[in-house]
Structure 1
Amino acid sequence: MRRSFAALLAVLAAISALAGCGTKKPGGAKTSDDGYTAEYVPEISRGDYNGASVTVMCRDPEMAWGEMAVISDEQSTAVLGDAAYRRNKRLENDYNVKLNFVTYNDETASGGSFYRTISDNLSAYDDICDICIPGIMDAATLASAGAFVDLSSGDVPHLDLEKPWWNKTLNDSMRILNRQYFAISDALLNDKLDTYVMFFNKTLFADSKLDAPYTLVDSGEWTIDAFAKIVKSYGSDLNGNGTPDYEDAYGLVGMIYDVFYVGSGITGAYLDEKTGLPAITPFSDKTDNIYGKVRDIVSGSRYNTYSIGQEPLFNNDINDTFRAAFDEKSLFMCGPLSFYFNIITEMTSDVGLLPCPKYDENQKEYRHRAGYTGSTAITVLTSVRDRERAGVMLEAFCAGAKNYVSPAFYDTLLTNRYAQDEESKRMISLVIDTEIFDLDQIFKWGTILERLQLSLSSGAGSVATLYARYAAAAEAKLRETIDSYSQLK
């Protein structure tokens, strides 16, 4: 979804500042001079670093995959830009430092100039930055090579990954050998924006006398089977040309269906919480059943589903193609949360948001695959000389994001302006609270779920045979990662 993120950045840059960005004051909360509530305060004292330059390396926010609330050179009328500016100025004033941002405008999500800069520095070992925020797939590769300090080891003083400005659930899911070489915090938004959800056409549901699925979600009955029943009951050749295209009506419009596995609690790899050892998820009857259910959805009637890429893009643009296939004529659209900003705002139909369906009613929680293509991660390079200062700056940077950036993102952008009904607002919280990473997709051991998706249309071999072949290759690469981690100090 690279072009979608680029369009998203352009949209958000033009949004005017909105009211209501504050958070409730708990006991002990402090209101800062700029009017923001300092609800979250790191347990570090203000210091004076005598105007020292603190360097942050990150993706260019104007480019695809760039984080939107890390950099702001001047006070902005855009909501997130203003929040980032106030957070950064507060940090500079409290610690007498000057934040210096070094940005990279790579066109790819991994393996670009940012990656090469860090990789080359493994041998040069220069003190090139205090805080480093690479793409998460680059972070995974570089961690194995020894580029980063274990953030949970105490080698970077003042960091407390148990604090609420760090995402403990996601971070724990990446603690290979119980080490935290890269982490997610409130300073980062891409893991959320690139998380896939299920949008539905409220206008068509009402016109078709269908009940909105919110009640199914709340009762725990929002399952793959319930979803499939609705999808398979809809779709038609609207233009009468006998060929499925974006001018027709569909039950589902999408392009990534690994979300049905993750939503069912299946990832390509998992982490043993006790040992910290990752493992490839073994094939099971459940895996086979999910594959069969998804295949039944995407390979049934030609008008059950429309997969982006099955024909040339409308206007040669992926966003326009999603809009053309979904707006006013299709029931569901599977896409990232960022669609709220760069696709749905230009639609005629009213749109609601749902979690991805569960496997069955016995499954206790909904699950959502946190975006890995667009996600970035917080790291500290092993070459950093002043780790004490880096720890102070990083903890204050992330705590400040909890006070400034998160209220702007959640309260204003997501819930007050874009979500079109109260139910969707609840669903947004449910989705973000149930994010998980698939280590296999981050580390690229076998990308098993992606490969299973590709096999849906080919129909080559049994799913058990395909899974076994993918898993065997993944096991070998996973072992290399474990060996690399084991050799790190």
Structure 2
Amino acid sequence: MIIKRIFALLLVSALFLAAAASCGGTGEEGAAGTTSAGEETAEETVSEESTIEPLEVKDLGGKEFRALVYKQGDPGTWFQYLDFVWTEEAAGDLINDNIMNRNIAIEEKYNVTIVSNQVSDVVSTARKAITAGSDEFEILEPYCDSAYSMAGEGLLYNIYDLPYCKFDMPWWDSNIQRDLSLQNRLWTVTGDISMFDEELSYVVYYNQVLAGQYEIEDCYELARSGKWTIDKMGELGRIVTHDLNGDGVLGDEDVYGVVTDYGVGRSWFYAMGAQLCKLESDGTPKLVVGDPHSQSAFDKISALMNDETSTKLVSKLKNSWTAAINGMKEDRVLFLPGSLYDITGYRSMENDFGVLPYPKHSEEQERYYNYVASHVCPVISVPVTNSDIESTGLLLEALSRESSDTIVNAYIELNLMTKVARDDSSAEMMRLIFATKRYDLACSYNWGKITNVIEPSCRDSSKFQSTLAKLLPAAEADMAKTLEQFAG
């Protein structure tokens, strides 16, 4: 651990010297302005932190804090970084270095070693260990939806019962608590401690060159003002869609306002402010997918997706999503929805692009909602075989506090600014997106395969009610079984 600390100090010193050198040409006026802003921010930070109760510090005797995580780069994984892993080989990468500094700070403060066991299948590995009664890891990071299957098998500990954790504080994600708590039980958690929920959030990529050529409205300002709606997206899409190669057919080589597909209908459904289920005040889920707003949401989604004057379906492109991404790179696509992980595909793009939240159903919708791909998004869970719940709660809280305003900021600064996205407004939109994440308990449990209502209803909204009628009885029965299982 001493060697790690020396390495960290050398790295920080090098970064400081580099930063000082880069600021050498700053004029007095600019320097004064920076100092003033910095002092004001520091005062505000001190004022805010002074109201936060300090976290207890304990000597944990050199124990290991073991995390069972997915192996990075394996097929089916959708993330660039691991939450608790850093390497000396990646020194200089801002995210790697922030994880390193955080881990080392916690390891030294609590006399503990953070260990990540990377496996190809977290769920099957964890299930085997837990059912055998083996205490092999303090936390695991299964995909969110899979975690609820494990919870149904009695394999996971109620996150709300962890000591020390202040889940009402801003370093923990309130969205997942709002959407996935079941009668004061929660089996998954995330927040500043993790980047997975950022990577797997759905966004809209925005080609600024194409927007400039056609002098369309400032989409960032539309988003800020709450006027970024699905109807507005279609309207702007119709302005740019045209037969580029002049063959009389809108094909793969032409220009489109929107490129999307029925298969990503979940992200559109939740963006409209619709849900499969909502939680009552006591945390009891209620299926609401049959309400009038759901029908209206599908009407708007279906209208956009089937409007050939604005939209091209990915399923009608010869090379599917590869063709869609290439269209964005070649300035032939104005709006392309996808997850933030997809941003890695634009590293080679020469022209400017940005990031927007998914549009709203209408201007009256109170906020934006950006779906987190919970079927492939790792989250933090605790196994029932954990024999040291007290230390686990303490270290999770310590790691999350230490991550506050560092890990996520590094993600935005490095991955979305200096490496990929090209303007400050995209960073602003990122923060908006991260604050408006949406999960759904009915989606994670998939009671009666209720999620199967979404894709066909996006394809043809007139079939929504008949499709729902076939699925709803089984969904209600499965939900009742879940509630009975956890009754009392």
* Smaller-chain TM-score bracket: 0.7 to 0.9
Letter of the structure 2 residue corresponding to residue 70 of structure 1 = F
> Counterparts of 1:247-266 in structure 2 under 5 Å?
247-255=253-261, 256-266=264-274
Change (3 A) 1:29 1:60: farther
The equivalent of 1:124 in structure 2 is 132
1:473 shift after superposition: 2.9
The equivalent of 2:86 in structure 1 is 72
Q: Please give the per-residue CA displacement for 1:236-288, whole angstroms capped at 9, x wherever unaligned.
A: 3333556654322111112323333212210222222x121112223233322
1:48 shift after superposition: 2.1
Letter of the structure 2 residue corresponding to residue 136 of structure 1 = C
Change (3 A) 1:65 1:81: same
> Counterparts of 1:238-317 in structure 2 under 5 Å?
238-240=244-246, 244-255=250-261, 256-272=264-280, 274-301=281-308, 304-313=310-319
> Counterparts of 1:322-401 in structure 2 under 5 Å?
322-324=325-327, 327-340=330-343, 342-401=344-403
- Residues 55, 101 of structure 1: 8 Å contact kept: yes
The equivalent of 1:110 in structure 2 is none
The equivalent of 1:33 in structure 2 is none
1:328 shift after superposition: 1.1
- Residues 163, 393 of structure 2: 8 Å contact kept: yes
Change (3 A) 1:264 1:247: same
1:73 shift after superposition: 4.2
For the residues of structure 1 that align with 2:374 and 2:63, how far apart are their CA atoms? Answer: 34
Letter of the structure 1 residue corresponding to residue 273 of structure 2 = G
TM-score by length of 2: 0.83
Change (3 A) 1:327 1:473: farther
For the pair shown, the structure with the greater C-alpha radius of gyration is 2
1:369 shift after superposition: 1.3
- Residues 41, 399 of structure 1: 8 Å contact kept: no
The equivalent of 2:483 in structure 1 is 482
For the residues of structure 2 that align with 1:404 and 1:425, how far apart are their CA atoms? Answer: 14
Whether 2:48 is the aligned partner of 1:58: answer no
- Residues 175, 439 of structure 2: 8 Å contact kept: no
For the residues of structure 2 that align with 1:434 and 1:88, how far apart are their CA atoms? Answer: 28
The equivalent of 1:136 in structure 2 is 144
Letter of the structure 2 residue corresponding to residue 118 of structure 1 = A
Q: Please give the per-residue CA displacement for 1:66-91, whole angstroms capped at 9, x wherever unaligned.
A: 55332114372222111111111112
1:191 shift after superposition: 1.3
The equivalent of 1:237 in structure 2 is 243
- Residues 260, 336 of structure 2: 8 Å contact kept: yes
Change (3 A) 1:168 1:389: same
Query: Greater CA deviation, 243-252 or 204-213?
Result: 243-252
- Residues 446, 470 of structure 1: 8 Å contact kept: yes
Letter of the structure 2 residue corresponding to residue 427 of structure 1 = M
Aligned residues: 448
Change (3 A) 1:461 1:422: closer
The equivalent of 1:464 in structure 2 is 465
Change (3 A) 1:208 1:65: closer
- Residues 317, 323 of structure 2: 8 Å contact kept: no
Letter of the structure 1 residue corresponding to residue 477 of structure 2 = A
1:390 shift after superposition: 1.7
Query: Greater CA deviation, 157-166 or 141-150?
Result: 157-166
> Counterparts of 1:399-438 in structure 2 under 5 Å?
399-402=401-404, 404-415=406-417, 417-438=419-440
Change (3 A) 1:450 1:434: farther
1:126 shift after superposition: 1.1
Unpaired runs of 5+ in structure 2? Answer: 1-13, 21-37
For the residues of structure 1 that align with 2:45 and 2:430, how far apart are their CA atoms? Answer: 29
Letter of the structure 2 residue corresponding to residue 65 of structure 1 = W
Letter of the structure 2 residue corresponding to residue 362 of structure 1 = E
The equivalent of 1:152 in structure 2 is 160
For the residues of structure 1 that align with 2:365 and 2:311, how far apart are their CA atoms? Answer: 26
- Residues 192, 405 of structure 2: 8 Å contact kept: no
- Residues 66, 117 of structure 2: 8 Å contact kept: yes
Change (3 A) 1:363 1:70: same
- Residues 83, 408 of structure 1: 8 Å contact kept: yes
The equivalent of 1:9 in structure 2 is none
1:424 shift after superposition: 2.5
TM-score by length of 1: 0.82
Name the % identity: 22
Secondary structure, in 3 states, of the residue corresponding to 2:177?
Answer: helix
Letter of the structure 2 residue corresponding to residue 406 of structure 1 = V
Query: Greater CA deviation, 41-50 or 182-191?
Result: 41-50
For the residues of structure 2 that align with 1:354 and 1:90, how far apart are their CA atoms? Answer: 35
- Residues 231, 297 of structure 1: 8 Å contact kept: no
Change (3 A) 1:215 1:324: closer
Residue from 209, 215, 221 that aligns with 1:209: 215
Letter of the structure 1 residue corresponding to residue 443 of structure 2 = Q
Letter of the structure 1 residue corresponding to residue 466 of structure 2 = T
Q: Please give the per-residue CA displacement for 1:159-218, whole angstroms capped at 9, x wherever unaligned.
A: 221232211232232110111222112121121221112222211111112222233223
1:334 shift after superposition: 0.9
- Residues 122, 140 of structure 2: 8 Å contact kept: no
Change (3 A) 1:399 1:219: closer
Change (3 A) 1:356 1:28: closer
